[in-house]
Structure formats: structure tokens, C-alpha cells
């Protein structure tokens, strides 16, 4: 265990790691805190047995989990239990330095040993053990012709952050309990430990509340899939053809048990005081105007509880009583984001509440609402967590903040715990490529894999003594335009692998070049495990140029972009005009390629690049550029419907 030592901490260690042959270091994701690579290897055989100590139920379950992942691909029996065996799991209460989730893993030619202070650490050690084997180990079918070996290593590992999360919105689009379990399996592979389950919103109520059965009998369904999506992009339809679905309380208990076996805590979100369309559709008396918001669907946005009615808080308490009885975790998420206040301004009861409580405005009324709900949550032994907007009017005294649009520094300085989830790095519903025409439909934005990997959860302006308040980070999957598990996985991975390393590995161990070297093997794991994903790309395609609002005119004009660096050989090329933002698009009528100012190819046809692009690709047959020649692309275009259009042009060999 002394060859190629890799203590993955500090600059020297990173340089040492980079100097090794890529084959020398196991392709582990996330990267462990400390690892030494030794000589030789351990071979898993039909005679291998898994043993554990102490004889505790939770430790036995981890041993069975490990065996359950080793058996299908190998075909080996791999019995669990007994006094001696080649793979050993051991709890050691004296290993305080490992914390609640840390572990030590030692592989020598004769045996494998995992040691941890707590069961969670044993579980994460087991996940690392699986990653040390060939990626085919994650197959659920027998795989022939594979040598089931792992390199001799000595690993001491523990996570950097205690909150390593993913959020799934099941309100906009519904995902079955089996699909949720599949996502939990993918999370376990990456050592995520928190699943944020967004269960209610304007478009659907997904959790059974026995006191209010109409919430799921009617509030979980809408007439169609909505959001302009193909109805066939989801299978979540009831017998009557309505779109939606919900989880019974038994379903939730089943998913909870599945998550707990993988050491994943589920944080439920019951949205309030805004995003309440599904509730108010069934209980219009809780709205300021006493009216239901209308047919559930994409158009319901301005729904908000009346903050002046006492029965609002009685209803919320009844709902939260059943939610807390189901979910044993510390946190209960109440949303609190994007609260429309126009109804409150016009509502006599809300205005009376403002006056009676001595509040200044509707922002302080929102704070009053959140504080009052926090009292209900705290009384049930839970901690309230909400999005950035729960700061409006003053943050509730014991609340935890989930920062998506700011407030982390202020919250932490005020003694509040914070989970980092900014739109800049953690919104996995955003595009992964600037060339959106080649990506599934999305809500917009652009967060490539590299940007996720470069995320630093500790805000730069936060004083070191307040770093303890940053619990970790979370990736969010809002599902307005994501209606299938396949699409969820495409958006989540491999960006989820990058976030896993951000939240688990020491900051000094983060190294993009190393991550790039490890990802091809990790992608093989995803394939073997049946986890959908976007194909790994170390570098995204670079646009040839862009157009901006300041260049726009309602009259046709010619714009020019340099192609010299992109076109090195002759052949067929395509130039695609990709609209990114603005109220309008651009109309085009021709595009040309010039060499040293002389036209060498031209395509003439009417096209439009906008929200609904038409014929926005121009093709050219180009000769091999002359040595030292400058190539440019010209297009005749105008803004259509305004002058705020912005977009990019991508030029590549035709068919690529």
C-alpha cells in the first residue's frame, strides 16, 4: 500500500495526482478525500463472502445492499454473514474522526475491509467499493468475460458538506413512485443524501391528505399535459384521460423506506403562501376573493392564500400534521417563493391583518405568514426551510434558507443555516448547450457541465466564522418542460456527477482535468445501471458568433462573423441561426461565405430564427481555404416584431 500515494489534499497532492497515468488511479466519482494506490489487485470470485460486525440490523442491511449489487452481474452467490469472509464491513464507534458519513476502505489482494463510525459511512464505503470494480458491475443482468478485479487501495474519506441534494418537481409533471425510486438509486451511486420532493404547486397536488380527500381526487388532475408538450411525452394519465396522479400515504412510506435504505433523507415541500392553485381550486374560500383559480394548468400563476383569514392557518396546520406524521426528517420545506401580492393589496381581510399586526406593507405580511407557519412547524418538532423570498419583510427566527436568487450571506451572518441552490449553477432544467436546437425543450438558461463543476458553495463574501452555516448545495429539476423520467435523467446527469463532487470532495481536490479523465468510465457505469444521461462532453460547441439587440433593425441589414478558426477543410458546412431570447426573432433571406472578401458560397432562402424557428439553417459547399485566408459569414437579416432579439450562430460540417 505504498506505491503511487495520492493524499488528495492541497496543491502538491493535485500535482502528484495529475502526474500519474490515468490508468493508475481508479475513476471514482466523487473523488475521495484521501487515497493511496498500492500494488496488486483483489479479485471477486464465487467463493467470496461478505461479513459484518456488529450483528446489527442496519449493518446487515448494508451488507445485503452490497451483495444485491454484486450478484446480478457476476452471477456469484456471495453469501452474507458468518465469521470470516473476503469482504468485511465494520462499525467502529471510536473512529470519531470519520464523522457521521465518513469511512475507511482498504483493498489488499486477500481481502477488502470497510470501516466507519456510523452506518451511513459503511454505505458510502460500499458505493466506493462498487466503483472500484469494472463498470459492468452495475448491470442487472449477468455479464460474461469480465475479470471482477479492483485495485489495491487505501482510502480515508468523508464529505465536505452535510447537504448533498437533488430536487424533483412532481407537480408540473407527475412521476410514479417507481420512477422516483429509480432516481433515488442514481442519487445513491453519487453519494447524494437529500431528496427534495416538490409535492404541491399551482399545477397539481401530489400527496394524499386524508382529512381533505378532494386534494388528490380533483386537485391532482388536469385536463391535459399542458405547457405545449406532446401528450405522448408522458404516461401519467388516469382512466378518464385526465393528466396527473398522486402518491397515497402508503406510497410515500414505501418511497421513504427505499430512500432510508440508501441513507437519503426526503425533504417534502408543501408550497405556500403562493403557488397555491391546486389547493385553491378545491378550497376557494382560502383565497382572498373566494374564487377558484380556474382549470389547473400552465396558466395558473397568481394563486395565493389569503393571509387575513384564520381558517387559512387552521387548514395549513391540518395538512402539515399529516405531512409531518409521514416524513421523519428534520426539515419541512414551505416554498415561500414568487408570492404575488396584488390580491393582498385589494383584500380587506389582508389589509386588516396588516393594520392589526402593525405591519408596514405586504412584504411584512408575507413575513408574518411565514413566521406563523414556522411556529406550526417548530411545534411539530421540525425546522422550516424555504426559498430566498422567505427573507422578504424579515426572516423567520429559526428558518433555514434555500438560496436560489440571493440571501445566503445575509442569512448566514444572521445565524441562519443555508443551502446553496443558485440559478447560476444548480438549475438542471436549464439548457446544457447553447445550441438549443439540438437539445430537448427546456425553460431556457444555460448551465453546461463545466459550470456546475466550477461551483463553489461557500460565498466569497462570507466570513470564515460563518462558513459553518452553509449546509451544502442542491441541484433543482423543475419540470415545466420535463414530462418523462428519461428527460429528467438527461437533464440531471452528468451534471449531477459534477455537483456530487462539488459537495462531497475537499475543495482542494477539485480538478476539472481529472474529472474529465474519470467521466468516460463513470458514463459506462450509468449505462450499465440503466441510468439515462446526456452523453459526456468535455467541451461544448463554441458559437461562430452572435447577434444582439443593439445590432437589430426592422429593415434588412447585413451582419458579418469570422469563420477562420472554425473552417479548416473543404466540404459541406451548415450555419444554424439559434434564437436565445427576446420578444421577437429575426427574419433572414440569405447567407454567404466569403474568402478574403470574395464570395465563395451562398444559400438564398427565407428563414426565421425565433421561438418557433423555420428553415434557420443555411448550407454551403466550401473549397479548402487558401493558406492564410480569412473566411467570413454574412447574412441578410432584420428583426421581426421588435428589436430585442438575441441569438447565436453555429457553423459545423453538415450532418454534425
Residue 8 pLDDT more than 60? no
The pLDDT of residue 21: 38
**What does the pLDDT look like over 143-200, one tens digit per residue?**
999 999 999 999 999 999 999 999 999 999 999 999 999 999 999 999 999 999 999 9
CA distances from 77 to 129, 136, 327, 423 (A): 18, 17, 36, 47
Q: How distant is the alpha carbon of residue 546 from its chain centre?
A: 29
Cis peptide before 640 (omega within 30 of 0): no
Please confirm, yes or no, whether 338 is among the known catalytic residues: yes
| HSE (side-chain half, CA atoms, 13 Å) at 154 | 11
Catalytic-labelled residue, pool 224, 338, 439, 541: 338
Cis peptide before 45 (omega within 30 of 0): no
Least confidently predicted of 29-33, 293-297, 332-336, 460-464:
293-297
384: Cβ–Cβ under 8 A, 6 or more apart, which residues? Answer: 331, 332, 334, 370, 373, 374, 377, 378, 396, 398, 399, 400
Percent of the chain with pLDDT over 90: 88
Within 249-343, strands assigned E span: 265-272, 331-335
The pLDDT of residue 582: 87
The pLDDT of residue 271: 97
Residue 11 pLDDT more than 70? no
What's the grid cell of residue 120?
451511513
pLDDT band at 655 (very low <50, low <70, confident <90, very high): confident
Q: DSSP letters along 58-90, please?
A: HHHHHHHHHHHHHHHHH-----B-SS--SEEEE
**What does the pLDDT look like over 619-646, one tens digit per residue?**
999 999 999 999 999 999 999 888 999 9
Mean pLDDT of all residues in 403-410: 97
Least confidently predicted of 1-5, 137-141, 465-469:
1-5
**What does the pLDDT look like over 543-577, one tens digit per residue?**
999 999 999 999 999 999 999 999 999 999 999 99
**What does the pLDDT look like over 351-406, one tens digit per residue?**
999 999 999 999 999 999 999 999 999 999 999 999 999 999 999 999 999 999 99
Catalytic-labelled residue, pool 36, 201, 374, 576: 201
**What does the pLDDT look like over 443-463, one tens digit per residue?**
988 999 999 999 999 999 999
Please, what is the average pLDDT of the chain?
93
The pLDDT of residue 236: 98
What's the grid cell of residue 579?
434564437
- The answer to whether the CB of 11 falls within 8 A of the CB of 115 is no
- Taking the C-alpha atoms of residue 77 and residue 45, their distance in angstroms, rounded to an integer, is 9
The pLDDT of residue 611: 81
CA distances from 192 to 111, 127, 169, 287, 469 (A): 27, 11, 17, 38, 19
What's the grid cell of residue 261?
435504505
| DSSP element (H, E) containing 619 | strand 617-622
**What does the pLDDT look like over 252-302, one tens digit per residue?**
999 999 999 999 999 999 999 999 999 999 999 999 999 888 767 655 556
Cβ atoms within 10 Å of 126's Cβ, excluding its own: 25
Pairing verdict, β 470-477 and 163-169: parallel
The pLDDT of residue 292: 82
Mean pLDDT of all residues in 72-76: 98
- The structural domains of the chain, ordered by start, are 5-157 (3.30.379.10), 163-510+525-529 (3.20.20.80), 545-653 (2.60.120)
Least confidently predicted of 135-139, 224-228, 529-533, 577-581:
577-581
- Taking the C-alpha atoms of residue 398 and residue 417, their distance in angstroms, rounded to an integer, is 9
Q: How distant is the alpha carbon of residue 330 from its chain centre?
A: 21
Please confirm, yes or no, whether 275 is among the known catalytic residues: yes
Pairing verdict, β 617-622 and 571-581: antiparallel
pLDDT band at 12 (very low <50, low <70, confident <90, very high): very low
CA distances from 139 to 73, 135, 145, 518 (A): 5, 8, 14, 19
Catalytic-labelled residue, pool 275, 416, 469, 522: 275
The pLDDT of residue 9: 40
Please confirm, yes or no, whether 69 is among the known catalytic residues: no
User: Which single residue is written with the C-alpha cell 389582508?
Assistant: 350
Amino acid at each position: 500500500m505504498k506505491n503511487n500515494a495520492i493524499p488528495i489534499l492541497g496543491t502538491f497532492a493535485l500535482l502528484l495526482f495529475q502526474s500519474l497515468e490515468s490508468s493508475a488511479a481508479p475513476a471514482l466519482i466523487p473523488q475521495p478525500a484521501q487515497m493511496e494506490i498500492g500494488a496488486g489487485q483483489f479479485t471477486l470470485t464465487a467463493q467470496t463472502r461478505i461479513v459484518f460486525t456488529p450483528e446489527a440490523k442496519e449493518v446487515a442491511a448494508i451488507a445485503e445492499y452490497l451483495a444485491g449489487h454484486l450478484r446480478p452481474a457476476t452471477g456469484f452467490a456471495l453469501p452474507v454473514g458468518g465469521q470470516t469472509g473476503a469482504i468485511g464491513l465494520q462499525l467502529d464507534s471510536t473512529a470519531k474522526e470519520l464523522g457521521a458519513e465518513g469511512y475507511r476502505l482498504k483493498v489488499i489482494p486477500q481481502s477488502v475491509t470497510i470501516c466507519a463510525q456510523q452506518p451511513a459511512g459503511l454505505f458510502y464505503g460500499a458505493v466506493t467499493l462498487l466503483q472500484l470494480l469494472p463498470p459492468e458491475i452495475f448491470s442487472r443482468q449477468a455479464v460474461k468475460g469480465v475479470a471482477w478485479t479492483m485495485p489495491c487501495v487505501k482510502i480515508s474519506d468523508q464529505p465536505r458538506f452535510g447537504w448533498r441534494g437533488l430536487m424533483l418537481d412532481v407537480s408540473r409533471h407527475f412521476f410514479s413512485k417507481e420512477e422516483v425510486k429509480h432516481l433515488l438509486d442514481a442519487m445513491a451511486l453519487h453519494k447524494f443524501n437529500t431528496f427534495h420532493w416538490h409535492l404541491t404547486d399551482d399545477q397539481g397536488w401530489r400527496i394524499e391528505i386524508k382529512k381533505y380527500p378532494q386534494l388528490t381526487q380533483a386537485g391532482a388532475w388536469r385536463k391535459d399535459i399542458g405547457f405545449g408538450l406532446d401528450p405522448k411525452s408522458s404516461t401519467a394519465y388516469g382512466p378518464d384521460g385526465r393528466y396527473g396522479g398522486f402518491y397515497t400515504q402508503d406510497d410515500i412510506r414505501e418511497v421513504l423506506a427505499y430512500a432510508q435504505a440508501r441513507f437519503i433523507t426526503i425533504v417534502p415541500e408543501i408550497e405556500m403562501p403562493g403557488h397555491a392553485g391546486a389547493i385553491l381550486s378545491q378550497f376557494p374560500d382560502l383565497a382572498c376573493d373566494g374564487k377558484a383559480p380556474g382549470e389547473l394548468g400552465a396558466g395558473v400563476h397568481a394563486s395565493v392564500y389569503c393571509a387575513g383569514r384564520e381558517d387559512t392557518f387552521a387548514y395549513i396546520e391540518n395538512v402539515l400534521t399529516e405531512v409531518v406524521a409521514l416524513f421523519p426528517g428534520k426539515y419541512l420545506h414551505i416554498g415561500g417563493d414568487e408570492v404575488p401580492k396584488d390580491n393582498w393589496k385589494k383584500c380587506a381581510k389582508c389589509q386588516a391583518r396588516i393594520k392589526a399586526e402593525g405591519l408596514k406593507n405586504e412584504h411584512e405580511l408575507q413575513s408574518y405568514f411565514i413566521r406563523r407557519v414556522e411556529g406550526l412547524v417548530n411545534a411539530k418538532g421540525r425546522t422550516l426551510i424555504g426559498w430566498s423570498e422567505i427573507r422578504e419583510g424579515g426572516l423567520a427566527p429559526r428558518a433555514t434558507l434555500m438560496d436560489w436568487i440571493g440571501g445566503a450571506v445575509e442569512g448566514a451572518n444572521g445565524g441562519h443555516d443555508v443551502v446553496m441552490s443558485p440559478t447560476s449553477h444548480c438549475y438542471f432544467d436549464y439548457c446544457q448547450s447553447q445550441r438549443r436546437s439540438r437539445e430537448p425543450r427546456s425553460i431556457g438558461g444555460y448551465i453546461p457541465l463545466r459550470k456546475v463543476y466550477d461551483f463553489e458553495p461557500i460565498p466569497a463574501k462570507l466570513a470564515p466564522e460563518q462558513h459553518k452555516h452553509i449546509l451544502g448545495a442542491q441541484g433543482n429539476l423543475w419540470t415545466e418542460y420535463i414530462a418523462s423520467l428519461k428527460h429528467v435523467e438527461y437533464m440531471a446527469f452528468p451534471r449531477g456527477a459534477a455537483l456530487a463532487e462539488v459537495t462531497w470532495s475537499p475543495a482542494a481536490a477539485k480538478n476539472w482535468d481529472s474529472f474529465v479523465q474519470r467521466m468516460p468510465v463513470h458514463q459506462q457505469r450509468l449505462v450499465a445501471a440503466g441510468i439515462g444521461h446526456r452523453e459526456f462532453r468535455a467541451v461544448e460547441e463554441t458559437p461562430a458568433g452572435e447577434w444582439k439587440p443593439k445590432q437589430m433593425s426592422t429593415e434588412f441589414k447585413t451582419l458579418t462573423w469570422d469563420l477562420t478558426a472554425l473552417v479548416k477543410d473543404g466540404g459541406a458546412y451548415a450555419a444554424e441561426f439559434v434564437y436565445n431570447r427576446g420578444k421577437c426573432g429575426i427574419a433572414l433571406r440569405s447567407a454567404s461565405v466569403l474568402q478574403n472578401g470574395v464570395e465563395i458560397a451562398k444559400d438564398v432562402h427565407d428563414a426565421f430564427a425565433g421561438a418557433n424557428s423555420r428553415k434557420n439553417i443555411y448550407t454551403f459547399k466550401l473549397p479548402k481555404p487558401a493558406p492564410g485566408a480569412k473566411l467570413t459569414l454574412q447574412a441578410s437579416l432584420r428583426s421581426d416584431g421588435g428589436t430585442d432579439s438575441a441569438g447565436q450562430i453555429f457553423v459545423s460540417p453538415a450532418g454534425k
